[in-house]
Structure 1
């Protein structure tokens, strides 16, 4: 890794912002959002802290962008849709990804962000923005499934909200590790969603549970 004292490679502003936010997101996921500081990010990409300050004069905004960058990657994973997948298949994939061992890092990030957002207005806005976006994406799946007769919920927006609330409840186990997600707890959450959507039991339950 080059020394921070060396002249940083010149990049276009948009490229530099992307580099900084990607580094901050990595630090947020692996070390915690508390560790997303101008100095720590500068160290991570081997530049002087002043360069980070040039693009992010306020540390709070860097933390918020780190959260948005990381959860954008999570969102793309949760809502990626294979060409042949209908809404029910996509919902099954959604739960498989959301409850996978790999998702624990994101669950921890959400817990961390919600706690810190009490003191960081930029982060609070970022959390609300991503919550709303995820809920809208899930609602669109449920709306399509309702139209096709795959689901029979009375209110797809309410069902999407319920689903996200229940997943948030599961994330409270994230700091204990995957073993804390007891099969009966997961089955209770999934069963509640299945009943809300008029699905048979275990339709949405991932195989590893």
Structure 2
């Protein structure tokens, strides 16, 4: 029972984070295209607004090694994030805003770097974040064949 509640709370929090950072195209009321959606994502994700959710992800991944129900939700949410990024990339390729031959692989790599940089949130974030702030954005620009700085908010 407690296990299910923990998993449900994690899922609820991470779904809200995903919808806040990367709204589905149909839910994006601003009518932003894929380039603007990723610009907004990298700007918001590199700020402090989502630090607590980064801590939740880090701790959930650790606890999921021992809690099968939580493990299933962590995996499900990771895949949901990858699919959402993949959809944005695929849309951008269709609109010729990006060039990418494997949107799934690019999405996985981008998310891995976003998660990797947020892994420092519980320890040395103050000392390490400045050099890491643009790492995910820089990788995404390379993955999408964009000039440096393209994913910075205008």
- TM-score with structure 1 setting the length: 0.67
Q: Could you list the runs of 5+ residues in structure 2 that have no partner in the other structure?
A: none
Alignment partner of 1:198 is 2:145: yes
- What is the CA-CA distance between 1:186 and the residue it aligns to? 2.2
CA radius of gyration, larger in: 1
The gaps in structure 1 that reach 5 residues or longer are: 1-57
Deviations 1:27-75 (A, max 9, x none): xxxxxxxxxxxxxxxxxxxxxxxxxxxxxxx211111011001111111
**Given that residues 113 and 135 in structure 2 are in contact (C-alpha distance below 8 angstroms), is that contact kept between their aligned partners in structure 1?**
no
Q: Distance in 1 between matches of 2:129 and 2:76?
A: 30
Length-normalised TM-score, structure 2: 0.89
Instruction: Name the residue aligned to 2:14.
Output: 71
The whole-number CA distance in structure 1 between the counterparts of 2:125 and 2:113 is: 17
- Asked if 2 retains the 8 angstrom alpha-carbon contact of 1:151 and 1:199, the reply is yes
Residue 173 of structure 1 aligns to a residue whose secondary structure is helix
* Number of aligned residues: 150
In 2, Cα distance between the equivalents of 1:143 and 1:59?
39
1:151 aligns with 2:98: yes
Q: How many angstroms apart in 1 are the aligned matches of 2:94 and 2:8?
A: 36
Higher relative contact order, structure no. (Cα contacts within 8 Å, ≥ 6 residues apart) = 2
- 1:47-196 to structure 2, matched below 5 A, reads 58-80=1-23, 81-176=28-123, 179-196=126-143
In structure 1, distance between residues paired with 2:128 and 2:151: 16
CA distance in 1, matches of 2:67, 2:119: 21
Shift of 1:206: 5.7
> 1:141: how far off?
0.5
Which string of whole-angstrom CA distances, capped at 9 and with x for unpartnered residues, describes residues 136-168 of structure 1?
A: 111110000001111111111111111110011
Going from structure 1 to structure 2, the CA distance change for 1:178 and 1:96 (only over 3 Å counts) comes to farther
